[in-house]
């Protein structure tokens, strides 16, 4: 697994799973964490890969503490 990288677009990380089912399960678990935080990722899923980008739209797309906290919660969800 790669670490979170801060780019011009925000905090980014790519997660790889055994198959689509595991990737989708991960996304579902992240969705619950995002709802609790009232902060939602930009993400893309292709088969067993989930690409996540976090930034705060209210802060002009900058990376804020909300993004860092959600990144920690996402890492906690990732069971692999």
Write the CB contacts of 55 (distance below 8 Å, at least 6 apart in sequence). 9, 10, 11, 42, 61, 62, 63, 67
The pLDDT of residue 1 is 32
Q: What is the pLDDT of residues 23-68, one digit of tens each?
A: 999 999 999 999 999 999 999 999 999 999 999 877 777 788 999 9
Global pTM reads 0.88
Cα–Cα distance measured from residue 20 to residue 64, given in angstroms and rounded to the nearest whole number: 30
Least confident of 3-7, 10-14, 57-61: 57-61
- Strands in 28-77 per DSSP E: 42-46, 49-54
| Among the four given CATH numbers 3.30.70.1450, 3.30.1360.20, 3.40.190.10, 3.30.710.10, the one describing domain 5-77 | 3.30.1360.20
Cβ atoms of residues 50 and 17 within 8 Å: yes
Cα–Cα distance measured from residue 47 to residue 33, given in angstroms and rounded to the nearest whole number: 22
């Amino acid at each position: 697994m790669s670490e979170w990288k801060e780019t011009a677009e925000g905090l980014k990380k790519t997660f790889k799973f055994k198959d689509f089912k595991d990737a989708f399960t991960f996304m579902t678990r992240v969705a619950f964490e995002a709802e609790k935080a009232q902060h939602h990722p930009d993400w893309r899923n292709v088969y067993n890969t989930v690409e996540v980008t976090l930034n705060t739209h209210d802060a002009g797309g900058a990376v804020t503490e909300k993004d860092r906290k959600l990144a920690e919660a996402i890492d906690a969800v990732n069971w692999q």
